[in-house]
A = this chain, B = another copy of it.
Amino acid sequence: MNRDSPLDNLRVVLVETSHPGNIGAAARAMKVMGLSRLYLVNPRCAIDDEARARASGAVDLLEAAVLSDSLDAALADTVLAAACTARRRDLPHPAYTPRQAAPLLLSEARAAPVALVFGSETFGLSNEQLARCRWLINIPANPAYMSLNLAAAVQVLAYELRSSLQDATIPLPAFEPARHEEVEGFFAELERTLVAIGFLDPASPKRLMPRLRRLFARAGLEKEEVAILRGILGAINKRSGQ
Verify A228–B212 contact, CB threshold 8 A: yes
Please give, as numbers and ranges, the residues of chain B lying within 8 Å of A95 by CB-CB distance: 170, 172
Whole-angstrom distance between the Cβ of A242 and the nearest chain B Cβ: 10
Expressed in whole angstroms, the Cα–Cα distance for A144 and B211 within the complex equals 44
When distances are taken between beta carbons in the complex, the residues of chain B under 8 Å from A162 are 140-142
A18-66 with Cβ < 8 A to chain B:
25, 28-29, 31-34, 56-58
Q: Which residues of B contact A168 (CB under 8 A)?
A: 97, 99-100
Query: A219: which B residues are within 8 A, CB to CB?
Result: 215-216, 218-219
Is A127 part of the contact surface with B, judged by Cβ < 8 Å? no
Tell me, rounded to whole Å, the shortest Cβ–Cβ distance linking A107 to chain B: 14
Contact assessment for B197 and A163 in the assembled complex, using a CB-CB cutoff below 8 Å: no
Kindly state the interface size class of chain A when it binds its partner. Answer: 35 or more
* A126 CB within 8 Å of chain B: no
The count of identical subunits is 2
Q: Which residues of B contact A204 (CB under 8 A)?
A: none
List residues 94-140 of chain A with CB under 8 A from any CB of chain B: 94-100, 138-140
CA of A219 to CA of B139, assembled, Å: 24
- State which of A9-17, A75-83, A151-159 sits at the interface with chain B: A151-159
**Min CB gap A55→B, angstroms:** 10
Q: Assess whether A67 is interfacial by the CB under 8 Å rule.
A: no
Scan A160-197; emit 1 where CB is below 8 A from any B CB, else 0: 00110010111011000000000000000000001001
CB contacts (< 8 Å) of A221 on chain B: these are 215
Tell me if A33 and B169 are in contact (CB < 8 A): no
User: Can you list 8 A-B pairs with a CB-CB distance of less than 8 A?
Assistant: A97-B163, A97-B170, A140-B163, A197-B236, A197-B239, A198-B235, A215-B219, A218-B219
